[in-house]
Amino acid sequence: MTVVEAVRWSVSGDAVDIVDQRALPARLVRRELRTVDEICDAIASLAVRGAPAIGVAGAMGLVVSLAPLTDLGAVDFLAAVHRAAERIARVRPTAVNLAWAVRRVADRAAATSGAAPAMHAAMRDEATRVLDEDRAMCDRIGQHGLTLLHDGARVLTHCNAGALATAGIGTALAPIYHATSLGWKIAVFADETRPLMQGSRLTAWELVQAGIDVTVLADSMAASLMRGGAVDLVIVGADRIAANGDVANKIGTYALALAARHHGIPFYVAAPWSTVDAATATGDDVEIEHRSPAELGDGFAEQIAPEAIARYNPAFDVTPAALVSAIVTDRGVHRAPFDFTAARHADGREG
């Protein structure tokens, strides 16, 4: 089984080697990023996307971009590290993982005594830890989530919470990869996920690479598929999980949860523990990003909506905890009643 590596060190170690997700599914294009400009551009243009993958790419990118400057004096080198870190973190200011991962690497440099080469070696070590931790987090989610699957399971998912969104084997798709590596046959239904089509473009592509049976459907078809008895369970990712278990995730998740409940189908959420936010009491406290109206109407070969109309284009929705069967994190399988009010992130951030 081949699981795509969305972010890794290049063979020589002097670049961040990413899958350029803008070219998918038509072509697999890998790019090597070396400069701050290249890293910022890759993150801004969504060549690399998914909160975990962005964090890892930013951390590793900071390291490689500083490589040409190791003959600077220690003070000048550290100043350059901070300048580059700030530039990278600023590309997607709401991506908590990005700022956090980049800061980890910069802080490691600051905490290292000695000359620039020693600092740089410590930075590389720290970025490699960020990378390895992300992979381990995915593996643990996969192991915990495996307990919810069975050989022959037919799984519906939404958007892309897979390998392409992390440096490892993904979150919602991690249990599916683990099951497949055990020889279980899993059939995946991938919602295409309007408007940006992460399901058909990315989830379907990475599952095909791994030889996993995948069928794409329009988001509006999922309820009928469930009614026809073709779905055993639903697994989706999460952008944020509130203290009460409400789940903010890609728009369309909520409609799936309603349909799953109506049909008595388990609805699972798989996400890093760092997604659990104890400071958010309920889903009502999550501000939902509304995206460009152009996403509804443009992007097809031909115009598909009149220019003169309003377009409602939220990027995410909130699924109330009451509709969630279980939340799988790298810490285990959490079941209702959910109480994450005491959650602290593994890295010490407030929950």
Within positions 167 to 186, which residues make up the interface with its own copies, using CB under 8 A?
A: none
246, 318 in Cβ contact below 8 A? yes
Site for its own copies contains 259 (CB under 8 A):
yes
Q: Which amino acid is at 333?
A: V
CB burial of residue 139 (10 Å; 0-12, 13-18, 19+):
middle
Backbone angles phi, psi at 31, to 5 degrees: -130, 145
Site for its own copies contains 83 (CB under 8 A):
no
**What is the smallest separation between the CB atom of 222 and its own copies, expressed in angstroms?**
7
Residue the block writes with tokens 């300048």: 83
Angle, helix 116-146 to helix 174-181, in steps of 10 degrees: 70
Give me 73's structure tokens. Answer: 């004096």
User: Residue 325 and residue 334: Cα distance in Å, rounded?
Assistant: 9
**What is the smallest separation between the CB atom of 285 and its own copies, expressed in angstroms?**
15
132, 9 in Cβ contact below 8 A? no
Site stretch for its own copies (CB under 8 A), options 62-70, 84-92, 189-197, 330-338 = 189-197
Site for its own copies contains 254 (CB under 8 A):
yes
Binding test (CB under 8 A) with its own copies, winner from 97, 180, 193, 249 = 193
- Nearest CA-CA partner of 54 in 7, 86, 106, 14: 7
Residue the block writes with tokens 């190791």: 70
Q: Which residues are catalytic?
A: 239
Residue 90 has a CB neighbour count (10 Å cut-off) of: 13
Strands (E), 134-174: 154-157
Q: How big is the site for its own copies, counted in residues (CB under 8 A)?
A: 54
Binding test (CB under 8 A) with its own copies, winner from 82, 311, 331, 345 = 311
Site for its own copies contains 4 (CB under 8 A):
no
Site for its own copies contains 2 (CB under 8 A):
no
**What is the smallest separation between the CB atom of 310 and its own copies, expressed in angstroms?**
4
Binding test (CB under 8 A) with its own copies, winner from 45, 147, 224, 292 = 224
Within 13 A of 273's CA, how many CA atoms are on the CB side? 24
Which of residues 38 and 317 has its CB atom nearest to its own copies in the complex? 317
SS3 for 58?
helix
**What is the smallest separation between the CB atom of 265 and its own copies, expressed in angstroms?**
12
Site for its own copies contains 287 (CB under 8 A):
no
Rounded to 5°, the CA angle 244-245-248 comes to 115
**What is the smallest separation between the CB atom of 224 and its own copies, expressed in angstroms?**
4
Q: Which residues of 114-125 are buried (b: 16+ CB within 10 A; e: fewer)?
A: eebeebbebbbe
Site for its own copies contains 34 (CB under 8 A):
no
**What is the smallest separation between the CB atom of 237 and its own copies, expressed in angstroms?**
15
**What is the smallest separation between the CB atom of 223 and its own copies, expressed in angstroms?**
4
Which of residues 214 and 233 has its CB atom nearest to its own copies in the complex? 214
Site for its own copies contains 189 (CB under 8 A):
yes
Site for its own copies contains 103 (CB under 8 A):
no
Binding test (CB under 8 A) with its own copies, winner from 313, 336, 345, 351 = 313
- Nearest CA-CA partner of 249 in 268, 263, 230: 268
User: Residue 59 and residue 194: Cα distance in Å, rounded?
Assistant: 30
138, 169 in Cβ contact below 8 A? yes
Which of residues 227 and 335 has its CB atom nearest to its own copies in the complex? 227
Within positions 196 to 215, which residues make up the interface with its own copies, using CB under 8 A?
A: 197, 200-201, 204-205, 208, 213-215
Whether the upstream peptide bond of residue 93 has omega within 30° of 0, thus cis, is no
Site for its own copies contains 332 (CB under 8 A):
no
Site for its own copies contains 264 (CB under 8 A):
no
Can you give the binding site for its own copies, defined by CB under 8 A?
25-26, 189, 191-195, 197, 200-201, 204-205, 208, 213-225, 227, 251-252, 254-255, 258-259, 262, 296-297, 299-306, 308-314, 317-318
